[in-house]
Homo-oligomer: A and B are copies of this chain.
Amino acid sequence: MNFLEEKILRDGNIKEGNILKVDSFLNHQIDVDIMRQMAYEFQRRYRDVEINKILTIEASGIAIATLLGHLYDVPVVFAKKSQTANSTDDKYVAQAYSFTHKKMNNVFISKPYMKATDKVLIVDDFLADGAAAHALIDLVHQAGGTVAGLGIAIEKGQQKGGATLRAEGYRVESIAIVESMDWETQTIKFREQPELPLQNTNLKLG
C-alpha cells in the first residue's frame, strides 16, 4: 500500500452514491506533504519521458500541478472552465461534461500558452469518466503538442475513464486506483499496480 492509499484509508470518507470524500487533504484543504509526495512519485514514474509543460484544469488540479512545475522547473497551465466561452482566434476550446455539476463546460486555453513543441504531462486530482482528461488532450492536440502522459491522484477504477484512455494508447499513471468501495461498510479496495521495470541499473534484483 502506498502513501496515498494509506492517507485515503486514514482520512477519506465514502459517501452514498459512490463518492469518495478526500477534501481534508486533496481538494479543499491541501496537505502539502501528500502533494509533495505525489509530485515526486509522478516524476519518478515518468523518469523516462521528456516533459516541458504541466497542464491541469481549474481548480482542484492546480495545487499538484504547481508542485510538479516547481519540481520540473517548467511552466504550468491551468485550463479554464466557462459556460460562455466561444471559440475565438485566440483560444483553443474543448467541451467536457461535468458529472459533479451536471452541465457541459467549455474548457479553454489561450493559444500562446500551448505550443506544437510542448511535451505535456496532464495532471488532475481525480479520473472518473475521463471527460476532463479528454478535453485537456484535445486542447494539447489542437495546438499540435504531444501528450507525454497523464498523472492522476485517484482513479475511480469502476468508471470508464482510465480504461478508455489506456485503450486509446495514452499512458495513465494513477497513484491510487479505487477498484471498489462500499459506503455502508466504509470499505475500499485498491487495484494492485505493477511496478514499472527499471532499465540500466547497476545491480540486479535477486
Q: Which residues of A contact B (CB under 8 A)?
A: 23-24, 28-33, 35-36, 58-59, 62-63, 65-67, 69-70, 73-78, 80, 109-110, 112-113
Chain B residue numbers with a CB within 8 Å of A80 are 28, 59
Chain B residue numbers with a CB within 8 Å of A35 are 66, 70
Bound state CA distance, A62 and B27, in angstroms? 11
Chain B residue numbers with a CB within 8 Å of A59 are 58-59, 62, 78, 80
Bound state CA distance, A24 and B30, in angstroms? 25
Closest 6 CB pairs of A and B: A58-B59, A59-B59, A62-B62, A30-B76, A29-B113, A32-B69
The reply to whether B32 and A66 form a contact with Cβ atoms under 8 Å apart is yes
The smallest C-beta distance from A74 to any residue of chain B, in angstroms, reads: 7
The smallest C-beta distance from A179 to any residue of chain B, in angstroms, reads: 27
Chain B residue numbers with a CB within 8 Å of A75 are 29-32
- With a 10 A CB-CB cut-off, give which of A29, A69, A75 has the most chain B CB atoms: A29
Q: Which residue in chain B gives the minimum CB-CB distance to A113? A: B29
Q: Which residue in chain B gives the minimum CB-CB distance to A25? A: B75
Bound state CA distance, A32 and B71, in angstroms? 9
Bound state CA distance, A30 and B32, in angstroms? 19
Which listed residue (B73, B76, B109) contacts A63, Cβ 8 A?
B76
- With a 10 A CB-CB cut-off, give which of A32, A36, A110 has the most chain B CB atoms: A32
Bound state CA distance, A77 and B30, in angstroms? 6
The smallest C-beta distance from A112 to any residue of chain B, in angstroms, reads: 7
Chain B residue numbers with a CB within 8 Å of A113 are 23-24, 28-29
The reply to whether B69 and A66 form a contact with Cβ atoms under 8 Å apart is no
Q: Which residue in chain B gives the minimum CB-CB distance to A73? A: B32
Bound state CA distance, A74 and B110, in angstroms? 33
| Sample of 18 A–B contacts (CB below 8 Å) | A23-B110, A28-B77, A28-B80, A29-B76, A29-B110, A29-B112, A30-B65, A30-B75, A30-B76, A30-B77, A31-B75, A32-B66, A32-B70, A58-B58, A58-B59, A59-B80, A63-B63, A66-B66
